[in-house]
Amino acid sequence: MLTLAVTSSTGVVGVAITRDREVLSECHVVTDRRHAEELTPMIREALGFAGVGLDEIDRFAVDVGPGRFTGLRVGLATVRTLAFAKHKPVVGVSSLEVLAATVLDPSAKGSLLSPAATKSEGCVVAVIDARRSEVFQQRFGPDGPFGEPSFGSPQNMARLVLPGDVILGDGADRYAEIYGACDGATHRIGIEPLAANVARLSVGRPAQEGPQVVPVYLRDPDVKVNIKTRHNT
Amino acid sequence: MARAFAGCVRDGDLIVLSGDLGAGKTCFSQGFGAGLGVKERITSPTFTLHNQYRGRLILNHLDVYRLDDLEETLDLDLPEMLETGVTIIEWGEQIDPTLPSDHLTIRILHGSSTALGEDDPQGPVDDDLRSIVFEFNGPIWLARLGQLEAVIQPWEVPC
C-alpha cells in the first residue's frame, strides 16, 4: 500500500511517501505562510526521491487540523484534488494526534499510542498555536486521547497539564514561559507534525472519498449574519 | 494626521476605518502608509480585498465592503494576517463580530459635527471638512490613549 501523506496545519509543510509502515521519502520545510507555493513542488520532489509515480499511489493522507486556517485549506484542497484526479481515497488525521505521535511512536504494534514507546510514564500534551493568543490542545495517553481537542488561552490550557506529561508543539513553544512552568512536566521544544506520522497514523484507518474529508477548525465563529443587512440597519 | 498617527503603531495592531463612500478612508490609509515609510502607491483594496505593503512595518490594507457574508471573512485568515505587521480594514465595522476585541476604530465623518454618527440637520456645510473620531477598544489600545492623544493633539478642535 503506497501512501502519499501531507501535513500543512502549522508553519511546517511536509510530504511523505510510505509503503505500509516504511518511509520511502520525506520532505519538510518551515514556511510562515507560503503553504500553497511550497506544497505542490514538494509533492513532486517527494515522489521523485521515493522513485514512485503519482499513478502508483494507492491513497492519500492529510492532517485535517486543528491548526492554521490557510495552511489546512491548502493541504486539504491539494490532497482532495489529487485524490479526485486519481480516483483514490483519502484518510484524514488529527494534527494534534500527528504531533503526539512524534513522541508516542506510531510504528509500535497494536495501539498506536503504545505505552512501551513512551520513555516517560506520563502522557503527551499536544499544543498547536491557534493565533489570537489561543492554543489548540489535547492530551494523549497510552490508550489514546483523553477527550476531544479543545482551545483556549495558553494560561487556561496549561492548567490541564499534569505532572509527568510531555508537552510539545508550536503552541507550547510560543508560550514556552507558561508551559515551561507546568509542575513536573517536560516541555520538548521544536517538535512539529511530520508527514511520515500522518502516513503511519493513516494505516488501518477507514479511507473516505475526498470531499468527505473536511478540515477541523474548532473555532469557527458564528458568522451567518449577512453583513449588508447589518450595515443598512 | 494619518502620517503622524502611523508613528504610534506596532506589529499586530488592528485599525478599523469607518466612514461613508468618499469620506476619505483610502486617503487616510495613504497618509498612514506614507508615515510607515511605504514607498509604493497605496490604492483602494476594494477589489483585491487585501494589499500588502512594506514600510517600517508590514502594512496589510483591507477593504471588506465587497463581502456579502461574515462567513467570507474567514477566507481572509485574519488571525494569521494579524501575526505580522499592522492591519487596516476599511469598512471593518461590518465584520465586527469576527474581529479581536483589541482594535482601534477610526470614524471619518463628513462635516465638522463631532456628534457620533448624527447627521447635522442642515446637512454638511463644507464638503471638505471631516471629523475624525478615535474609538479605543481593548486593553492594548486603552493603554496607549495618552500617547495617541499627544500625537493627534495638533488637529484637535474644542468640542
The pLDDT tens digits of the residues spanning A97-135 come to 999 998 876 454 333 333 444 444 579 999 999 998 999
With CB atoms and an 8 Å threshold, state whether A223 touches B77: no
B85-144 pLDDT, tens per residue?
A: 999 999 999 898 889 889 999 999 987 655 455 555 555 556 778 889 999 999 999 999
With CB atoms and an 8 Å threshold, state whether B82 touches A227: no
With CB atoms and an 8 Å threshold, state whether B74 touches A131: no
Mean pLDDT (whole number) for A178-203: 94
Provide the edge-to-edge strand list for the sheet that holds A59-63. Answer: A22-30, A12-19, A2-7, A59-63, A90-93
The overall pTM is greater than 0.90:
no
With CB atoms and an 8 Å threshold, state whether A220 touches B68: no
Quote the ipTM score: 0.72
Domain locations in chain A as residue ranges: 2-94+193-212, 97-188
CATH topology of domain A2-94+193-212: Nucleotidyltransferase; domain 5 (3.30.420)
Q: Which residues pair with A154 in a beta bridge?
A: none
Q: How far is B154 from chain A (nearest CA, A)?
A: 33
Which residue matches cell numbers 490532497?
A79
Residue A155 CB contacts under 8 Å (≥ 6 apart), including other chains: A178
CATH topology of domain A97-188: Nucleotidyltransferase; domain 5 (3.30.420)
With CB atoms and an 8 Å threshold, state whether B70 touches A33: no
- CA atoms within 13 A of residue B107's CA, in its CB half-sphere: 17
Query: CB of A13 within 8 A of CB of A42?
Result: yes
- Grid cell at residue B157: 478642535
Mean pLDDT (whole number) for A158-178: 95
Selected residue of A32, A129, A227 to mutate for chain B interface (largest B Cβ count, 10 A): A227
Domain locations in chain B as residue ranges: 2-154
Scan residues 131-150 of A and list those with Cβ closer than 8 Å to B: 131-132
Whole-number pLDDT of residue B13 = 95
CATH topology of domain B2-154: Rossmann fold (3.40.50)
User: Going by DSSP bridges, is the β-strand pair A2-7/A166-168 parallel, antiparallel, or unpaired?
Assistant: unpaired
Selected residue of B63, B72, B80, B84 to mutate for chain A interface (largest A Cβ count, 10 A): B80
Whole-number pLDDT of residue A115 = 40
Tell me which amino acid residue B4 is. Answer: A
With CB atoms and an 8 Å threshold, state whether A225 touches B68: no
B62-82 pLDDT, tens per residue?
A: 999 988 888 888 888 888 899
**Does the CB of A220 have a partner CB in chain B at under 8 Å?**
yes
In percent, how much of chain A has pLDDT > 90?
Answer: 73
Q: Which of A230, A222, A67 is nearest to B98 (CA)?
A: A222
Mean pLDDT (whole number) for B18-31: 92
Q: Would A2-94+193-212 and A97-188 be classified into the same CATH topology? A: yes
Residue A136 CB contacts under 8 Å (≥ 6 apart), including other chains: A66, A67, A95, A96, A127, A128, A129, A130, A149, A150, A151, A171, A218
Sign of the four-CA dihedral A171, A173, A176, A182: positive
Query: Does A212 have pLDDT greater than 70?
Result: yes
With CB atoms and an 8 Å threshold, state whether B74 touches A225: no
Whole-number pLDDT of residue A156 = 97
Scan residues 13-52 of A and list those with Cβ closer than 8 Å to B: 32-33
Q: For chain A, how far is it from start to end, CA to CA, in angstroms?
A: 58
Closest-CA residue of A relative to B69 is: A226
Distance of alpha carbon B33 from alpha carbon B31, whole angstroms:
5
Q: How confident is the model at residue A4 (pLDDT cuts 50, 70, 90)?
A: very high
With CB atoms and an 8 Å threshold, state whether B68 touches A70: no
Q: How far is B113 from chain A (nearest CA, A)?
A: 22
- Using a CB-CB distance cutoff of 8 angstroms, which residues of chain A are in contact with residue B84? 32
Selected residue of B13, B65, B83 to mutate for chain A interface (largest A Cβ count, 10 A): B83
Radius of gyration of chain A (CA): 18
Which residue matches cell numbers 491548526?
A67
With CB atoms and an 8 Å threshold, state whether A223 touches B71: yes
Taking residue A113's Cβ as centre, other Cβ atoms within 10 Å add up to 23
